């Protein structure tokens, strides 16, 4: 379940991805209040299990809330207009939970092209959280296009491919900062504080 770790196997065809799948899955399950584990036997295979809390309709309704402590210098309702550019629904939901205490408005889009249009229509956006790997136009190209007409908006790149050189590519494209997936909620709050704790 560690980031960037893959099995030590001889079949080179099996080496695909960046070794992040299980760490992302673990982060999601734990944020939902659950646990994840596996049973594995060499040359046989692996079985993965997870549990998350379930409340039936008959039970007293209890809303699942991810508690996000207030950031020093930014109180809930800090009046930011935030654009989330994310093609994965679960990631979008977790980022929304994180930024809501600081937002007067949250705009959500799923593609690079839609992010450009959103920034054109909403010149008062303070912060863009930009997924880099998206189908069609990626986040780097979307950032370059946004920078042609908006030099001041803070753009934080986020990607599951947190490999060497990615941060430099993001900054070169015009991003203000960079965070890797699975997104560390405390780290994201720290970046918000860094740019908006004036």
Structure tokens at 81: 């207009």
What CA–CA distance (Å, rounded) separates 119 from 123?
Answer: 6
Q: pLDDT (tens digit, 9 = 90+) per residue, 6-63?
A: 555 555 555 455 567 788 888 888 888 889 988 988 888 889 898 888 765 554 444 4
pTM over 0.75: no
- For tokens 């992040």, name the residue: 20
Q: pLDDT (tens digit, 9 = 90+) per residue, 90-146?
A: 888 888 888 888 888 999 999 999 999 999 999 999 999 999 888 889 999 999 999
- For tokens 């960079």, name the residue: 178
Structure tokens at 165: 């050189």
Of residues 86 and 43, more confidence is placed in 86
71-85, 89-103, 152-166: the lowest-pLDDT one = 71-85
What H or E segment, with its residue span, contains residue 157?
strand 154-159
Angle, CA 108 vertex, CA 167 and CA 184 arms, to 5°: 45
């Amino acid at each position: 379940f560690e980031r960037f770790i893959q099995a030590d196997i001889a079949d080179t065809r099996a080496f695909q991805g960046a070794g992040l799948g299980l760490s992302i899955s673990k982060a999601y399950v734990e944020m939902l209040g659950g646990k994840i584990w596996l049973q594995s036997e060499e040359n046989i295979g692996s079985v993965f299990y997870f549990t998350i809390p379930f409340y039936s309709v008959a039970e007293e309704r209890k809303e699942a809330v991810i508690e996000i402590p207030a950031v020093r210098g930014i109180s809930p309702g800090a009046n930011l207009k935030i654009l989330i550019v994310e093609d994965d629904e679960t990631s979008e939901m977790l980022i929304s939970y994180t930024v809501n205490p600081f937002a007067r408005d949250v705009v959500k889009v799923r593609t690079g092209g839609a992010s450009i249009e959103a920034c054109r229509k909403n010149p008062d956006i303070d912060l863009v959280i930009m997924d880099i790997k998206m189908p069609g136009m990626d986040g780097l190209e979307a950032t370059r296009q946004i920078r042609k007409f908006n030099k001041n908006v803070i753009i934080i790149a986020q990607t599951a491919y947190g490999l060497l050189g990615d941060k430099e590519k993001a900054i070169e494209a015009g991003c203000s900062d960079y965070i890797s997936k699975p997104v560390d909620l405390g780290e994201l709050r720290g970046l918000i504080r860094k740019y908006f704790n004036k």
